[in-house]
Amino acid sequence: MIIQIIDDDMDASELLKTFMELDGHKIIQSFTAKDGVRDLADKKPDVVFLDILLPDANGLDILKEIKSKDKQTPIIMVTGFKDAENVVRAFREGAFDCLLKPYNYDYLKNDILGKIVPKSR
């Protein structure tokens, strides 16, 4: 599966990348919203992990933008902050799921990625 991570938290992004690569996935990393939207259009990942707080944009606005163009790609919102309002908004805007950092990798692997069917290439 091709997984895109859009997160300015380089440590969290690298940990997620390492975990996913060990499980056999190809990873695309983007550290800003601008790069993430460009990479999403160019590389067409099977799933996107999108941070709610990015340095150049609100991840929830980026979620809405992505979903207006591509309703099929599952977007998993990630955040380091317990904020029920943002989580509710994420689901209303079409998020597949929302994860709190640090990640629960068993839940991520079995309950989230296990439900996503990769795009046929």
Residues sharing a CB contact under 8 Å with residue 115, sequence separation 6 or more, in sequence order: none
On the question of pLDDT at 2 being above 60, the answer is yes
**Under a CB-based contact definition with an 8 Å cutoff, are residues 36 and 50 in contact?**
yes
SS3 51: strand
Whole-angstrom distance, CA of residue 88 vs CA of residue 15:
26
DSSP class of residue 53 equals B
pLDDT of the residue at 120 = 62
On the question of pLDDT at 21 being above 80, the answer is yes
**Overall pTM surpassing 0.85 (yes/no):** yes
Whole-angstrom distance, CA of residue 54 vs CA of residue 105:
22
Mean pLDDT of 33-50: 93
pLDDT of the residue at 97 = 93
* Sequence-ordered strand ranges (E) for the chain: 2-6, 26-30, 47-51, 75-79, 97-100
Residues 2-115, CATH architecture: 3-Layer(aba) Sandwich (3.40)
